[in-house]
């Protein structure tokens, strides 16, 4: 049975087909394919909206990684494949929960470090784990890492 987010993706796919939006159609098809792979995998877990969001987030991360690699090799944003990936990321962003900003994330980091009495840089992993356990999908892991490193030295 499809989740609410899967149904929304299906509706968006129909809209993209009718309007001729090739970027949106490609992005939604890829996400739906990845969700189906998860659904049909051996020992597959139940598909929830959270799983679908994780699939979208992972696909966006793959696209961004590809863009970064191509740019490191000298490619520019104007190249067709990079432009396509950038547009797909922008299209899929609407399905991702909005992450907290730097100030809100810093407040969470400060609160956890203070509450747990973490002051040693060797406790970086514990601090990261505590924050991500309670705030996964709400904070940017890279930003959390940067803020913890800045706090612990």
Q: How confident is the model at residue 18 (pLDDT cuts 50, 70, 90)?
A: very high
Decide: 100 and 131 in contact? Cβ < 8 Å: no
Model pTM?
Answer: 0.74
Q: Which CATH number fits domain 4-95: 3.30.499.10, 3.40.50.970, 1.10.1510.10, 3.30.300.20?
A: 1.10.1510.10
Q: Which CATH architecture is the domain 102-152 placed in?
A: Orthogonal Bundle (1.10)
Confidence label for 70 from pLDDT (cuts 50, 70 and 90)? very high
Average pLDDT over residues 96-111: 90
Q: Where are the domains of the chain?
A: 4-95, 102-152
Q: In which band, very low, low, confident or very high, does the pLDDT at 142 lie, cut at 50, 70 and 90?
A: confident
Q: What is the dihedral of CA 36, 41, 46, 49, to 10 degrees?
A: -40
pLDDT band for 95, please (50, 70, 90 cuts): very high
Contacts of 91 (CB under 8 A, 6+ apart): 23, 24, 27
């Amino acid at each position: 049975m499809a989740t609410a987010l899967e149904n929304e993706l299906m509706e968006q796919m129909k809209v993209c087909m009718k309007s001729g939006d090739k970027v949106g159609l490609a992005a939604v098809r890829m996400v739906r394919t990845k969700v189906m792979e998860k659904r049909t995998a051996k020992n597959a877990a139940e598909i929830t909206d959270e799983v679908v969001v994780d699939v979208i987030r992972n696909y966006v991360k793959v696209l961004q990684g590809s863009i970064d690699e191509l740019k490191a090799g000298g490619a520019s944003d104007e190249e067709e494949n990079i432009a396509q990936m950038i547009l797909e990321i922008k299209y899929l962003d609407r399905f991702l929960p909005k992450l907290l900003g730097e100030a809100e994330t810093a407040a969470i980091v400060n609160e956890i470090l203070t509450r747990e009495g973490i002051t040693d840089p060797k406790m970086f992993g514990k601090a990261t784990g505590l924050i991500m356990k309670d705030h996964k999908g709400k904070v940017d892991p890279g930003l959390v890492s940067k803020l913890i490193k800045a706090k612990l030295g």
